[in-house]
């Protein structure tokens, strides 16, 4: 029998080794300190990666084990009073349409009029949906009553069942004598994936510059198509008024309130060089609301997360495609399904991938031989065929900090692949980002009237390799405020360029640690204008971290 024994020991005064005295001798050497930090970073990296959290899925927040069936949706808007700006923004969101990953359940109206000042009561909203929209949603599935003998038309259910079927479903059905009928009948299960997405633009103001600033909440409800509800309806199959006479409940799935990515959204007008409006404020605002709400919904609602087995590993592919809403750079988690000691199946996260620009055009009924979408790995361990790939999108936003031997600073990045794909839809650039950073050069004594802080911005391209490593070269522009000597302004502004690269490791889906080599011409310019005894080097090495959202 093994056991652990805990002994209490009194600390002894440590003996100083030769290495200790060498360290004391060199402790004032800033290059040595930097080299030590980099070496510790590299030495600790493997242990950090081996000890990473594999992310066991939970039923409440994330359940990869739930079977993926194509969901359907009805999109509604809460209309608060007679605000023309909100009305225009709602119109612009409508114009964007609905993601191709959903079937659409039409309603006679998509507006819910609501008192401008009153907060949303989710229970009251639930009752309103049950009274005014639930029956219309069910009517989308059973649009036509045929006769007392035949009951309601099953055409929509059959069509959606066929369209929802994957290649795996088609292949499995071939072993059944019913074959195509089996796929059509599967459409009955899709009724339980009927959702309602409600946008609530709670405020919309105009800035002094003329831009629009909006705050938005979102609510997601689901038709509660339980066995009890469906049985009640089917018992009246021969009744032409069965839908209007049956109560169909809905349930709240998620209330996305006070979410950071849905607050303070800006809509700015863009014009051509001739002054022609290219994008209105409402369109730009609608784009932000639509995209951010879509990502939040896919993070919080299990049925919105498209999933399929990994089909191959060299390259990494799956049968997910345009029909499931796959877009370049969309993030997916890879899970391995394992049984615990009690026999319960658990999903363990083994890797993270992103969609490439090679996306399957599968927007049709599956044949068993559909195209494949390619993915590339950004984090985790080895991936095997048959593992489960599940959608888990992010916002493409990152922020972090860095420290070099003569500068400290912070930065933020935004992935622009989606923007670039609008101009190059057939071959969007992957890993492209814009960044802004603020830095403070140091290393020389600073007088009270010296200002060394600067702001830089530019573009960055990330390359991924060896499952979790990254290389990100960048190029940008830097500017510092006015230069003073003895209280007198001698230069209005200093400018320069920045260039360099970050070499990092994704130690989790959200965390990257890196070493950086950076060149900033502005630092030597600062040294020149302030007549420093020893100039601040334009070149620097350092370490940093990055957190992605």
Half-sphere exposure of 304 (CA within 13 A, CB side): 23
Lowest average pLDDT, out of 195-204, 301-310, 396-405, 492-501, goes to: 492-501
The last residue of a domain, from among 343, 360, 391: 391
Share in percent of the chain as helix, strand, coil (round to 5): 25, 35, 40
The residue-averaged pLDDT of 17-29 equals: 43
Same domain, 291 and 402: no
Same domain, 175 and 115: yes
Q: What domain range is 382 assigned to?
A: 306-391
The last residue of a domain, from among 300, 329, 349: 300
pLDDT tens per residue, range 329-372: 999 999 999 888 888 889 999 999 999 999 999 888 877 788 99
**pTM higher than 0.75 for the full model?**
yes
Residue 41, by phi and psi: left (phi above 0), alpha (psi -120 to 50) or beta?
A: alpha
Distances (CA, A) of 535 to 407, 450, 523: 13, 14, 8
pLDDT tens per residue, range 423-460: 776 777 889 999 999 998 876 555 544 567 889 999 99
Tell me, what CATH number does 527's domain have? 2.40.160.20
pLDDT value, residue 460: 96
Same domain, 256 and 311: no
Same domain, 480 and 529: yes
Question: What value does the mean pLDDT of the chain take?
Answer: 83
Q: Report yes or no on 99 lying in a domain.
A: yes
Q: Is the pLDDT assigned to residue 32 strictly greater than 60?
A: no
Same domain, 190 and 78: yes
pLDDT tens per residue, range 399-423: 999 999 989 999 999 999 888 877 7
The last residue of a domain, from among 342, 369, 391: 391
pLDDT value, residue 379: 97
- What does the alpha-carbon distance between residue 382 and residue 287 come to, in Å, rounded to a whole number? 37
Q: Which residue has the higher pLDDT, 487 or 68?
A: 68
Same domain, 288 and 328: no
Same domain, 407 and 373: no
The number of distinct structural domains making up the chain is: 3
């Amino acid at each position: 029998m093994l056991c652990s024994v805990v002994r209490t020991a009194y600390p002894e005064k440590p003996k100083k080794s030769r290495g200790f005295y060498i360290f004391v001798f060199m402790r004032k050497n800033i290059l040595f300190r930097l080299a030590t930090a980099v070496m510790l970073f590299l030495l600790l990296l493997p242990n950090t990666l081996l000890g990473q959290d594999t992310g066991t899925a939970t039923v409440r927040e994330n359940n990869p084990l739930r079977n993926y069936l194509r969901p359907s949706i009805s999109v509604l808007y809460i209309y608060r009073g007679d605000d023309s700006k909100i009305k225009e923004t709602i119109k612009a969101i409508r114009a964007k349409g609905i993601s191709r990953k959903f079937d659409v359940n039409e309603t006679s109206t998509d507006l819910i009029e609501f008192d401008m000042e009153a907060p949303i009561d989710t229970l009251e909203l639930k009752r309103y949906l049950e009274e005014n929209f639930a029956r219309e949603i069910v009517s989308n599935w059973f649009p036509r009553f045929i006769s007392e003998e035949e009951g309601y038309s099953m055409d929509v259910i059959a069509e959606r069942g066929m369209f929802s079927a994957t290649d795996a479903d088609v292949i499995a059905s071939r072993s059944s004598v019913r074959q195509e009928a089996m796929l059509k009948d599967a459409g009955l299960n899709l009724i339980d994936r009927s959702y309602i997405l409600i946008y609530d633009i709670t405020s919309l103001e105009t800035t002094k510059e003329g831009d629009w600033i909006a705050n938005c909440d979102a609510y997601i409800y689901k038709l509660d198509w339980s066995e009890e509800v469906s049985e009640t309806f089917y018992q009246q199959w021969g009744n032409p008024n069965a839908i209007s006479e049956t109560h169909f409940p809905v349930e709240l799935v998620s209330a996305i309130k006070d979410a950071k990515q849905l607050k303070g959204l800006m809509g700015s007008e863009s014009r051509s060089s001739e002054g022609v409006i290219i994008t209105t404020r409402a369109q730009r605002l609608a784009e932000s609301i639509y995209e951010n709400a879509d990502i939040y919904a896919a993070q919080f609602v299990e049925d919105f997360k498209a999933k399929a087995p990994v089909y191959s590993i060299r390259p990494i592919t799956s049968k997910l495609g345009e029909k499931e809403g796959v877009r370049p750079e969309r993030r997916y988690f890879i899970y391995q399904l394992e049984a615990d000691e009690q026999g319960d199946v658990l999903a363990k996260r083994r890797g993270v991938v992103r969609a490439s620009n090679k996306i399957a055009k599968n927007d049709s009924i599956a044949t068993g031989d559909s195209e494949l979408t390619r993915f590339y790995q950004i984090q985790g361990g080895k991936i095997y065929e048959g593992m489960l790939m599940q959608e888990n999108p992010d916002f493409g936003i990152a922020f972090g900090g860095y420290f070099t031997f003569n500068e400290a600073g912070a930065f933020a990045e935004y992935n622009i692949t989606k923007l670039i794909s609008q101009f190059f839809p057939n071959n969007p650039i992957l890993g492209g980002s814009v960044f802004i950073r603020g830095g403070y050069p140091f290393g020389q004594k600073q007088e009270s009237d010296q200002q060394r802080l600067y702001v830089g911005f530019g573009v960055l391209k990330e390359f991924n390799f060896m499952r979790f490593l990254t290389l990100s070269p960048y190029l940008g522009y830097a500017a510092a405020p006015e230069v003073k000597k003895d209280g007198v302004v001698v230069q209005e502004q200093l400018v320069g360029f920045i260039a360099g690269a970050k070499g990092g490791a994704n130690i989790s889906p959200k965390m990257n640690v890196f070493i950086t080599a950076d060149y900033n011409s502005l630092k030597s310019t600062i040294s020149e204008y302030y007549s420093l005894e020893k100039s601040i080097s334009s070149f620097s090495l350092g370490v940093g971290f990055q957190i992605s959202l």
